[in-house]
Amino acid sequence: MRLSFSRFSSIGLDVGSRWVKAAQLSRSGDGWRLAACAAFPRIVPDAVPAADELRQIASILKRQGFVGRDVILPAPGDKLRSGILELPAKAAGVPMEQIARAEFGRVQKLDVSAAELSWWELPASSRTAKGTVVMTVAYPYADAEPHVNAFEEAGFRVRAIDTPTSAIARGCLPLAKGKRSFGALDIGASAGVLVLVRDGVVVYERRIPEAGIARLTTTLEERLGAGREAAEYVIGQVGLGSSTDVASAERFAEARGLIARHVEAAVSEVHRTLAYASHQYADAAVETLLLCGGGACIPGLCEHVAARVETEVRLAEFNSELGGADDVRSRVGVFPACAVGLARFP
């Protein structure tokens, strides 16, 4: 029998509230390298993606060098139910799957028969547990089916749906440079997503709606009396960066103050996450926090966060292991961690 394997991975397709991010890998020896990557604004922002818009997205992807229609999608973060459970110790004959489903349904008050549920065992922590500690995530079919149907109607073939945090972790893993524990903060338009990874496993996740860039844009519009374009300019070009121009510094002082206060929602969550990590895993402190997503482009953000947390903070950026042409990197801008992680879906 002759087996034929595609040279290209499925397309990791992350359709956010304001932007579309996509990535595709190609086989290179025993591994994968970036074959295509794109980031462009939504045609219909802040709306559930309908088939007509998705057809236009498919056309854009084809023009930008993507191959095929197979896609891996992230589940919308606000539709997921997740939590950490302590189950009985693993032993022969113990029905862990059934126990996990029953316990999660009880805790979340959720009919798990009407949802896709996934769980994974967390690494042993410094706090000795008598049982088995697992992370559990569920995506109700009532939300999943119309989401998938819209993509299928537009001509895509949905091969899998992943959790955003798992995709972000997988996308950032090559950038963590072998760190045993690292964090990733993806700042998008509608929310920030914080994920903690230990030994390659997601051990903590948090969605932070207050950190969404759309909320900051609205704040600047209302408080400064500026239009949307002016607010977006201040976020993308002024940000938290220092200025040697005294007049410019005075002019944007209030805007920088508003941006700094907005960022504190994410910084506070980072502090709680680091405290959780040191409590649970005292033998492996978080060594790096990677910033990704559109909000990571705010000038001065990396330095601002680094001054407030006790760990290394750096931007998640394209590296030599993943590859990618210079023109692709310049066109995409910030590293699209979620889309790359989706493309790396096993």
Question: What are the structural domain ranges in the chain?
Answer: 81-143, 175-315
- Predicted confidence at residue 247, as pLDDT, reads 54
**Strand, helix or coil at 226?**
coil
Percentage, residues of the chain above pLDDT 70: 92
Question: Measuring CA to CA, how many Å separate 298 from each of 172, 213, 295?
Answer: 19, 10, 6
Q: Which CATH class is domain 175-315?
A: alpha beta
Give the global pTM. Answer: 0.89
Reported as a pLDDT band with limits 50, 70 and 90, residue 244 is: low
Res 218 pLDDT > 90: yes
- Predicted confidence at residue 141, as pLDDT, reads 96
Per-residue pLDDT reduced to its tens digit, 146-181: 999 999 999 999 999 999 999 999 999 988 888 889
Res 63 pLDDT > 90: yes
- Predicted confidence at residue 329, as pLDDT, reads 66
Specify which residues 12 forms β-bridges with: 23, 72
**How far is 66 from 199, CA to CA, in rounded Å?**
32
Kindly report the backbone phi and psi dihedral angles of residue 156, in degrees, each rounded to the nearest multiple of 5, phi listed first. -80, 155
pLDDT average, residue stretch 179-187: 93
Percentage, residues of the chain above pLDDT 90: 63
Res 104 pLDDT > 70: yes
Reported as a pLDDT band with limits 50, 70 and 90, residue 4 is: very low
- Residue 185 neighbours by CB under 8 Å, 6+ apart: 192, 193, 194, 266, 270, 289, 290, 291, 292, 293, 296, 305
8 Å CB contact between 309 and 271:
yes
